[in-house]
Amino acid sequence: MHETVGIPRALLFYEYYPFWKTFFDYLGIKTIISPNTNQKILEEGVKNCVDEACLPIKLATGHVMYLASRADYIFVPRIVSLAPREYICPKFMGFPDMVRQCVPSGTRLIDTNINLYRHRGEEYRCYQELGKYFVKNPFKIRTAYQKSVKKQEDYCSLLKKGLFPEQAMKAVDRHNVKNKGYNPGGPVIAVIGHSYNLFDRHISMDLIKVLQKKGVNVVTAENLPEETMRSETSILPKRLFWTLGQKMLGAAFHYMKQPEISGIIYVVSFACGPDSMVGEIIERYIKYENTPFLKLTLDEHTGEAGVITRIEAFLDMVYWKAG
């Protein structure tokens, strides 16, 4: 069998790619990844979505459209929940049905449900189901799953060492990758945002690089262990039921209390539902702490010059406050 599976470089790609890659590799399936976002992919996505859809969904649709003519299957899992009693976002839950409306008929979508709402152990069952698309032998799928879990753990520990997803994805296969872009003595800024916005260079205007070039050390939510973020959000009156929102909130709460962090940049996409609520809470709590804060809203019309100007103004404020 020489079937290929296309993995769109969008949505949870930056969180789970090493896992998926290892899983498919072990089952002997070739994977194709869509390239880094370019204007053409973005335009294709915008064309095939309703105007009201958010930027990450438009982007993901663009990547799926790119893969539609190039891969035998497209991997668009229906990610319902990644932690007990939590959800991701309604659009993640409906994404496979949304893209089915625009891909050419006959495109084969793999839309396995990934639903850990009841119990974290459900994950194994979800991947058994996924493996069955290609392999009959459950033991082989089991080994693939175990290998992937291992790989994912390595990847996460690299992230916690301060690497960003792109570096960590390379590093996870061969060791000894230096953390480039560290500037001793420079201010440390926490950039908080969903991985699919922040690490997509086209969408975020390469925000992290821009900051690093200005001598700023950047930390993100990815660099924190999950437990820290969960314990930080326990001060809320009600447990937040969006996993990604929890991550943003936990990271913001953690970083705003660290004296070495000089400022926080919060990156959101236009009309993001969960972020409209999470962002409001972050903004109000940060005001009490008096930490410099910048909220950058991104969409397909965002101009690079405007973003740069705002970052420069923000850095001026940070330096000015530091004296």
Residue 274 touches another protein, criterion: CB under 8 A: yes
Closest separation in Å from C-beta 301 to another protein: 16
298, β-bridge pairs: 269
32 vs 114 by CB, closer to another protein: 114
Candidates 253, 255, 233, 254; CA nearest to 243 is 233
Which residue matches tokens 């668009």?
A: 76
Residue 83 touches another protein, criterion: CB under 8 A: no
Considering only residues 216, 221, 272, 318, which one is a binding residue for another protein as defined by CB under 8 A? Answer: 272
Site for another protein in 224-243 (CB under 8 A): 236-242
96 vs 187 by CB, closer to another protein: 96
CA distance 66 to 278: 32
Residue type, 132: K
CA distance 172 to 157: 10
Residue 276 touches another protein, criterion: CB under 8 A: yes
Determine the interface stretch with another protein among 127-135, 157-165, 274-282, 302-310 (rule: CB under 8 A).
274-282
With a CB cutoff of 8 Å and minimum separation 6, the contacts of 284 are none
Closest separation in Å from C-beta 316 to another protein: 25
Closest separation in Å from C-beta 205 to another protein: 21
31 vs 113 by CB, closer to another protein: 113
Closest separation in Å from C-beta 296 to another protein: 14
96 vs 250 by CB, closer to another protein: 96
CA distance 302 to 65: 23
Closest separation in Å from C-beta 209 to another protein: 27
Contact 239/227 with Cβ under 8 angstroms? Answer: no
CA distance 11 to 142: 25
State the distance between the two ends of the chain, measured CA to CA, in whole angstroms. Answer: 64
The number of residues that bind another protein (CB under 8 A) is 42
263 vs 279 by CB, closer to another protein: 279
Burial of 320 per CB tally in 10 Å (0-12, 13-18, 19+)? exposed
Closest separation in Å from C-beta 169 to another protein: 29
With a CB cutoff of 8 Å and minimum separation 6, the contacts of 208 are 164, 181, 191, 198, 199, 218, 220
Closest separation in Å from C-beta 235 to another protein: 12
Considering only residues 12, 98, 205, 219, which one is a binding residue for another protein as defined by CB under 8 A? Answer: 98
Determine the interface stretch with another protein among 24-32, 47-55, 193-201, 226-234 (rule: CB under 8 A).
47-55
Residue 91 touches another protein, criterion: CB under 8 A: yes
Residue 80 touches another protein, criterion: CB under 8 A: yes
Counting every residue, how long is the chain?
Answer: 323
CA angle 205-63-103, nearest 5°? 145
Residue 47 touches another protein, criterion: CB under 8 A: no
Burial of 215 per CB tally in 10 Å (0-12, 13-18, 19+)? exposed
Residue 62 touches another protein, criterion: CB under 8 A: no
Residue 281 touches another protein, criterion: CB under 8 A: yes
What does the binding site for another protein look like in residue numbers (CB under 8 A)? 49-50, 52-54, 78, 80, 85-91, 93-94, 96-98, 100-101, 111, 113, 236-242, 270-277, 279-281, 284
